[in-house]
Amino acid sequence: MIKVKLDRGPAATLKEGVTVAQAFQALDADTDRHVVAARADGELLDLARTLTRDCTLAPVSVDSPEGLEIMRHSASHVMAEAVRDLFPGVKVAIGPAIESGFYYDFEVPEPFTPDDLGRIEARMADIVGRDLPFERGQVPKDEATEIFRKDGEVYKLELLGEIPDQQVSLYRQGSFVDLCRGPHVPSTGYIRAFKLTGISGAYWRGDERRPMLQRIYGTAFPTQEELERHLELLEEAKRRDHRRLGRELGLFSLEEEAGPGLVIYHPKGALLRSIIEDFERREHFKRGYQMVMGPQMLRVELWERSGHLANYRDHMYFTEVEGQTYGIKPMNCVAHMLIYKSRIRSYRELPLRYFELGTVLRHERSGVLHGLTRVRQFTQDDAHILCTPEQVEAEIVGVLDFVFDVMAIFGFAYEVELSTRPEKSIGSDEEWDRATTALTNALAAKNLSYHVCHGEGAFYGPKIDIKLKDALARRWQCATIQCDFTLPERFDLTYVGPDGERHRPAMLHRVILGSLERFLGVLVEHYAGAFPVWLAPVQVVLLPITDRVHDYAEEVAQALRAAALRVEVDNRPETLRYKIREAQVQKIPYMVVLGDREAASRTLAPRLRDGTELKDIPLEAFMARLLEESRIPATTGHS
């Protein structure tokens, strides 16, 4: 007999070998079709799994994040079965649940077409309608190898070869068997509202030297209404795609001719970026940071000393000059260490906050590059804070304040994650405890709720990550605050304390926006290209109707430019209709049509992006309004 307790509920003594579903029934737990799996002492289990020891059970509902993930992962198996039915000879690769749905990768002779998706969906509906059970089997690895060899499933065989265990688990529904850890929903009928959303090529394991597979994306939700709401958001995301808007708004391009993952900023994009950089510099100065600049490449010996050569070599580029090997910087830390070390430091100078808009190069596989969000060269708003151990907590609070001030300006919501010590790590228990306590105390001081990612810290220290949420509720990595025990040690950084002795400073790496490239990509989609006036590369476009008002248009433009406002005059011999349409596509905040009437009265009739028209405003009044709206929003700041 075993003792099974319901989480926050009663307990019962049950026969060993009872299934999870039976245990729920015995304990009078809610067992309707919302419950798709269970958590037994933390471990996720199928409802059909048997219990062999005392445990505490909690139902996992499809409405919870993990329940939803289980349903979506199950949908990927159903999709794979449908594809195998419809495309004989197809080879299946992997099919995980992802942030907002699932995918499965297939090797097929011809890429899938949008028509294929409709056929696959119909077959999936058929499989769901038959309510086939997901059956779990635990088999010796040899047996599994035999099953997949018979079917010619080379990708499954490769995955199997990498599993060290002698026993593996297989899941079967209908005619489809998959190598899978599970858990799954009890049967295909549990898959509610689903939809296939896209097709793309994807290299096996993201490696461009491996075969190109065909990936089908899909999603699934507990209800049809939730699915439809999600599909609307997807449509909106497509309309806002920064790669398309980046081209249409003349912001940037990525050219095959220049090389993959290398961003070329066009005039308006470079202007937008410099507005953000100016904003960043000002905010950093306000908070007691000092600006520094390091070189683009440093001797390879320094990278050896910093540990990058041992831990980060695959992401670095190297070059040779006069027989000396240099590493192109993938991070900005090393030069900052040299600045600190350039003279003896006293505790009176601390904290030192070195800030750099540092451009780094990192090797990413060409298969994973994406628009501005995943590139090979990018600029970080990077800083390193060196302080006494006692100052760490206050410094973290300061960085958190900084992040939230900035998020508020751009209108982003956020989520906070704390990552703790991973298995493979350096530093003493005492150091980890102290750093983790400093991070949690800072989060508590700011009254922040956060998610703990156990064991996901960097090998050199724990960290806080802040994920911003854009207008479409998508999450993006931006700020991080990392404690580091290694660099002060490796570079033998010290300060002279009040006791006259040398001490090791504590160190934080931190970014606020993170990669400026990714942040710009996110901003473009967040605002759908309609930037607020203070960010808009062009704030006003003047549209003279006739040649007679050219002088007046020039005079207005001069006055605006003299006030550092960003204005364009559209003098092209196109129709007014055409020019208005184009200004709308460019999402310019103010469009000003100039005719004889305005020239005679020396007024303006600006039209806002939302269609509002301002009648007969004197130039001075319009300028005052624009200047007010162009002011970079104020933040509190502190040091």
Residues serving a catalytic function are 333, 362, 380, 382, 384, 463, 509
Q: What is the torsion angle, in degrees rounded to the nearest 10, for the CA atoms of residue 194, residue 195, residue 198 and residue 203?
A: 30
Q: Which residue's CB is nearer to Zn ion, number 180 or number 464?
A: 180
Candidates 362, 509, 566, 579; binder of Zn ion (CB under 5 A) is 509
Cross-strand partners of 324: 321
The one-letter amino acid code at 126 reads D
Element (H, E) at 463: strand 463-469
Q: Which one of the spans 85-93, 322-330, 461-469, 508-516 is the region binding Zn ion (CB under 5 A)?
A: 508-516
Residue 144 in contact with Zn ion, rule: CB under 5 A: no
Q: Angle at which helices 429-445 and 392-410 pack, to 10 degrees?
A: 40
Rounded least distance, CB 232 to Zn ion, Å: 29
Rounded least distance, CB 510 to Zn ion, Å: 8
Rounded least distance, CB 489 to Zn ion, Å: 15
Q: What is the torsion angle, in degrees rounded to the nearest 10, for the CA atoms of residue 615, residue 617, residue 621 and residue 624?
A: 50
Q: Which one of the spans 174-182, 360-368, 437-445, 627-635 is the region binding Zn ion (CB under 5 A)?
A: 174-182
Q: How many CB atoms lie within 10 A of CB 555?
A: 14
Q: Which residue's CB is nearer to Zn ion, number 333 or number 478?
A: 333
Q: Which residue's CB is nearer to Zn ion, number 180 or number 557?
A: 180
Cross-strand partners of 177: 172
Q: Which residue's CB is nearer to Zn ion, number 479 or number 560?
A: 479
Is the separation of the CB atoms in 467 and 415 below 8 Å?
Answer: yes
Residue 474's nearest CA partner among 412, 424, 528 is: 412
Rounded least distance, CB 244 to Zn ion, Å: 34
Residue 220 in contact with Zn ion, rule: CB under 5 A: no
DSSP one-letter code for 598: H
Q: Which one of the spans 85-93, 233-241, 300-308, 506-514 is the region binding Zn ion (CB under 5 A)?
A: 506-514
Residue 397's nearest CA partner among 566, 510, 318, 305 is: 510
Rounded least distance, CB 372 to Zn ion, Å: 22
Q: Which one of the spans 178-186, 312-320, 498-506, 568-576 is the region binding Zn ion (CB under 5 A)?
A: 178-186
Q: Which residue's CB is nearer to Zn ion, number 59 or number 95?
A: 95
Cross-strand partners of 621: none
Q: Which one of the spans 352-360, 503-511, 574-582, 608-616 is the region binding Zn ion (CB under 5 A)?
A: 503-511
Enumerate residues 6+ apart whose C-beta is below 8 A from 99.
475
Binding mask 316-345 for Zn ion (x = CB under 5 A): -----------------x------------
Contacts for 223-229: CB closer than 8 Å, 24+ residues apart: 223/192, 223/193, 224/192, 224/193, 226/193, 227/193, 227/194, 227/195
Binding mask 2-41 for Zn ion (x = CB under 5 A): ----------------------------------------
Rounded least distance, CB 532 to Zn ion, Å: 31
Q: Using CB atoms, what's the residue nearest to Zn ion?
A: 180
Residue 352's nearest CA partner among 335, 340, 334 is: 340
Q: Which residue's CB is nearer to Zn ion, number 312 or number 534?
A: 312
CA distances from 545 to 216, 377, 391, 552, 578 (A): 51, 44, 63, 11, 12
How many residues form the binding site for Zn ion (CB under 5 A)?
3
How do strand 567-569 and strand 603-604 relate by DSSP bridges? unpaired
Q: How many CB atoms lie within 10 A of CB 525?
A: 25
Q: Which residue's CB is nearer to Zn ion, number 103 or number 203?
A: 103
- What is the DSSP annotation of 141-172? HHHHHHHHHHTT-HHHHHHHHT---SEEEEEE
Residue 180 in contact with Zn ion, rule: CB under 5 A: yes
Is the separation of the CB atoms in 379 and 532 below 8 Å?
Answer: no
Rounded least distance, CB 141 to Zn ion, Å: 17
Q: Which residue's CB is nearer to Zn ion, number 6 or number 335?
A: 335
Enumerate residues 6+ apart whose C-beta is below 8 A from 74.
134, 184, 185, 188, 190, 191
Phi, psi of 219 (to 5 degrees): -145, 160
Binding mask 439-478 for Zn ion (x = CB under 5 A): ----------------------------------------
Contacts for 265-272: CB closer than 8 Å, 24+ residues apart: 267/537, 268/537, 268/538, 269/520, 269/537, 271/537, 271/566, 272/520, 272/531, 272/535, 272/537
Rounded least distance, CB 48 to Zn ion, Å: 16
Q: Which one of the spans 262-270, 338-346, 505-513, 561-569 is the region binding Zn ion (CB under 5 A)?
A: 505-513
Rounded least distance, CB 177 to Zn ion, Å: 11
Quick one: the chain helix, strand, coil %, rounded to 5?
40, 30, 35
Query: How far is Cα 340 from Cα 384, in angstroms, rounded to an integer?
Result: 10
Q: Which residue's CB is nearer to Zn ion, number 186 or number 589?
A: 186
The one-letter amino acid code at 472 reads L
Rounded least distance, CB 6 to Zn ion, Å: 28
Q: Which residue's CB is nearer to Zn ion, number 459 or number 534?
A: 459
Q: Which residue's CB is nearer to Zn ion, number 75 or number 416?
A: 75
How do strand 603-604 and strand 617-618 relate by DSSP bridges? antiparallel
Is the separation of the CB atoms in 410 and 392 below 8 Å?
Answer: no
Rounded least distance, CB 145 to Zn ion, Å: 18
Interface positions with Zn ion (CB under 5 A): 180, 333, 509
